[in-house]
């Protein structure tokens, strides 16, 4: 069977077819122009400008019509950024590409005009599953950290992060996460297969994370925030370490929080949990309810892999946590489609998984959203334990080409048009067949995202108070309506 690659189209080409704020923002009287950008299944539309519409006076909407109601006078959390993880796997794959494809990749993700404008990123402390090998920055039994050395990262990952920073205009908000302490610090003497941090090494491990942050910053990579442990409830065949909610609470308040403060790093955003939505409320609330731990904690991070149980995505967990702790922040820290198959790179469901998650996550109060690997190879790796996954962009290292899955385009409908500093506003669909969210950007433009995951074309009215316009949503499509 001949494989068909998705070729990215020029973005913008024209086709003919945190807690609720009490501050209100008045609707600008001159706001009437609506530019529509569409990505749709079985078409050539990929982040493509399709038409320009006008908001005009309309009759009051009726229940027999489908409408998307937008209210810019009610504002909610502020967008920090959208991006993906800069892993060993992404870095190694990037440097297997020819120079022109490296440039194309950086433009595609990080250029604000010709790409989708990523501004947020994650990387790992020591190795993770998406590394070619398992490694530590210190020698065995070096509790004093005298042998601390990040030379492993100098070959691929650090140059890659710096290339990303430059492509993004000099700044990307980067947070860091450990998958495991060094083996000798753990109860199972193994960086993989779970195990726990030995109590006698809690201070050493906190100091280790401080040392990593300071070393990376000395190398010219500012660190915006950190999580204490990736997926603390999972025993994995790759790098992993177990913390109960109570153990992470005590580690934060007794060791990591004070260590950050002592080192002058108290302004770093400390994000607890960093695991799946289904356990988010219980785990994070255990930490937030402890005043001595909570004072160090900026928010909670979560992943979307709760679906491994056969259940759906648990967006209610986010809503309940946000309701209970409106002064803490929610961050989507990781997600990808698992079980890579090259035959599925054109599967439309890949992007729809992203669109569904992002709309619901933002509507639940999430302030930043981080995809997993920004780039993987034609096998869904490299990965030293064989759990290969999808990324928005894959490099076919056999011929030096880039393959853009529709994950890339779906994410772009958010990251390109919702700017850092934007305030989420009300966007509500009158039918559950349409998913929607909206943001008021710092420049006054409004980005309304509407996703249609059905097999049918849906005609609807975009309504702002007493003004509106008719819009058509194509089957299995996502569109951004930029209102100015």
Catalytic residues, which ones? Answer: 231, 334
Helix (H) or strand (E) holding 20: none
CB of 439 within 8 A of CB of 418?
A: yes
Measured distance CA(484)–CA(482) in Å, rounded: 7
Measured distance CA(161)–CA(85) in Å, rounded: 10
Provide Rg for the chain, Cα atoms. 22
Q: What is the DSSP string of 61-87?
A: P-TTS-EEEEEEEEEEEEP-EEEEE--
CB of 82 within 8 A of CB of 368?
A: yes
Helix, strand, coil tally for the chain in percent (to 5): 30, 30, 45
Listed residue (173, 185, 155) closest to 92, CA to CA: 155
- From first CA to last CA, the distance across the chain in angstroms is 47
CB of 350 within 8 A of CB of 405?
A: yes
Per the listing, tokens 């609707």 go with: 27
Count CB atoms within 10 A of the CB of residue 95. Answer: 12
**What is the SS3 string spanning 130-195?**
CCCCCCCCCCCCCCCCCCCCCHHHHHCHHHHHHHHHHHCCCCCEEEEEECCCCHHHECCCCCECCC
Measured distance CA(289)–CA(246) in Å, rounded: 11
Measured distance CA(298)–CA(294) in Å, rounded: 8
Bridge partners for 225 per DSSP = 175, 269
Listed residue (16, 123, 31, 114) closest to 72, CA to CA: 31
Burial of 404 (0-12, 13-18, 19+ CB in 10 A): buried
Count CB atoms within 10 A of the CB of residue 174. Answer: 22
Taking CA atoms, 148 is separated from 28, 141, 145, 240, 265, in Å, by 56, 12, 5, 20, 19
Q: How far is CA 163 from the centre of its chain?
A: 19
Listed residue (301, 220, 222, 213) closest to 262, CA to CA: 213
Count CB atoms within 10 A of the CB of residue 379. Answer: 15
């Amino acid at each position: 069977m001949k494989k068909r690659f998705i070729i990215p189209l020029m973005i913008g080409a024209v086709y003919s077819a945190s807690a609720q704020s009490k501050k209100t923002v008045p609707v600008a009287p001159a706001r009437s122009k609506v530019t529509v950008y569409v990505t749709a299944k079985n078409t050539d539309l990929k982040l493509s400008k399709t038409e320009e519409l006008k908001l005009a006076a309309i009759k009051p909407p009726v229940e027999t019509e489908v409408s998307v109601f937008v209210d810019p006078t009610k504002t909610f959390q502020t967008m920090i950024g959208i991006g993906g993880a800069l892993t060993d796997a992404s870095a190694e794959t990037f440097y297997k590409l020819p120079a022109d494809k490296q440039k194309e990749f950086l433009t595609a993700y990080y250029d604000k005009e010709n790409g989708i404008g990523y501004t947020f990123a994650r990387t790992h402390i020591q190795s993770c599953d998406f590394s070619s090998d398992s490694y530590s920055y210190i020698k065995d039994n070096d509790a004093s950290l005298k042998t601390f050395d990040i030379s492993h990262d100098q070959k691929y990952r650090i140059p890659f992060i710096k290339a990303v920073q430059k492509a993004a205009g000099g700044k990307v908000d980067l947070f860091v996460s450990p998958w495991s302490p060094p083996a000798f610090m753990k109860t199972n003497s193994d960086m993989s297969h779970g195990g726990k941090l030995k109590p006698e090494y809690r201070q050493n491990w906190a100091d280790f994370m401080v040392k990593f942050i300071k070393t990376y910053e000395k190398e010219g990579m500012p660190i915006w925030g950190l999580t204490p442990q990736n997926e603390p409830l999972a025993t994995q065949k790759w790098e992993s370490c177990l913390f109960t909610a109570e153990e992470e609470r005590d580690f934060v308040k007794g060791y990591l929080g004070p260590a950050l403060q002592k080192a002058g790093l108290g302004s770093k955003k400390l994000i607890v949990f960093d695991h799946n939505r289904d356990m988010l409320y219980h785990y994070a609330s255990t930490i937030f309810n402890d005043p001595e731990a909570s004072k160090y904690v900026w928010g909670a991070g979560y992943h979307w892999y709760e679906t491994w149980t056969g259940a759906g995505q648990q967006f209610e967990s986010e809503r309940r946590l946000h309701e209970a702790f409106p002064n803490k922040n929610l961050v989507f820290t990781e997600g990808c489609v698992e079980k890579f198959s090259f035959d599925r790179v054109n599967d439309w469901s890949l992007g729809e998984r992203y669109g569904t998650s992002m709309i619901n996550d933002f509507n639940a109060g999430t302030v930043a959203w981080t995809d997993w690997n920004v780039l993987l190879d034609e096998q869904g790796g490299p990965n030293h334990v064989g759990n290969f996954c999808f990324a928005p962009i894959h490099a076919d290292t056999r011929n030096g080409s880039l393959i853009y899955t529709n994950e890339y385009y779906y994410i772009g409908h958010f990251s390109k048009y919702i700017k850092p500093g934007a305030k989420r506003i009300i966007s509500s669909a009158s039918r559950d067949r349409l998913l929607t969210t909206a943001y008021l950007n710092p420049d006054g433009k409004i980005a309304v995202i509407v996703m249609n995951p059905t097999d049918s074309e849906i005609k609807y009215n975009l309504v702002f108070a007493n003004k509106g316009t008719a819009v058509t949503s194509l089957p299995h499509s996502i569109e951004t309506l930029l209102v100015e």
